[in-house]
């Protein structure tokens, strides 16, 4: 990854974090079919890692579920479901401390085994 691409990724991640913390609609496409976005669950504000059906890897859902329950403490607060279109969604409530949001996004990507797409602001 070039320095410019890395800087662009960090800027996009920071904009996403700012939008989430400011309660503005947030959306960042990480690659084709994979996005981070604001997503409310009832009255709870949250963020979702959304992996469209066409972007799912073979066995990815099973691996995500296994990791979530085998490493329950590491992925505490992450909820996994399939939406109506068959997309894998990993949802997490927005934290009371906004400074930990970047870490939560990294954990969500880790849970889905998408480390390569993690351009953490704090790296």
For residue 109, the domain's CATH number is: 3.30.1460
Looking at the domain assignment, is residue 122 inside a domain?
Answer: no
Query: Considering its fold, how many domains does the chain have in total?
Result: 1
CA distance 30 to 8: 12
Q: Is 96 contained in some domain?
A: yes
Would you give per-residue pLDDT tens digits along the chain (123 residues)?
Answer: 555 655 677 888 899 999 999 999 999 999 999 999 999 998 999 999 999 999 999 999 999 999 999 999 999 999 999 999 999 999 999 999 988 999 999 999 999 999 889 877 454
Strands 79-82 and 27-31: unpaired
| Cβ atoms of 88 and 56 closer than 8 Å | yes
Q: Which residues have a Cβ under 8 Å from the Cβ of 85 and sit 6 or more positions away?
A: 52, 53
Q: Of all residues in the chain, what percent are helix, strand and coil, respectively (each to 5)?
A: 40, 25, 35
Residue 123: inside a domain: no
Question: Which residue bears the tokens 């969604």?
Answer: 89
Taking the CA atoms of 34, 40, 94 and 108 in sequence, report the sign of the dihedral they define.
negative
Domain that holds residue 54: 3-117
What is the value of pTM for the model shown? 0.90
């Amino acid at each position: 990854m070039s320095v410019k691409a890395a800087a662009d990724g960090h800027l996009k991640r920071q904009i996403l974090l700012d939008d989430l913390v400011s309660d503005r609609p947030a959306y960042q496409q990480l690659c084709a079919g994979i996005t981070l976005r604001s997503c409310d669950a009832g009255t709870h504000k949250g963020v979702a890692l959304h992996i469209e059906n066409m972007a799912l890897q073979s066995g990815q859902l099973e691996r995500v579920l296994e990791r979530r329950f085998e490493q329950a403490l590491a992925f505490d607060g992450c909820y996994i479901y399939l939406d109506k279109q068959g997309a894998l969604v990993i949802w997490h409530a927005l934290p009371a401390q906004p400074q930990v949001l970047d870490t939560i996004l990294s954990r969500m990507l880790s849970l889905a085994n998408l480390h390569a797409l993690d351009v953490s602001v704090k790296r």
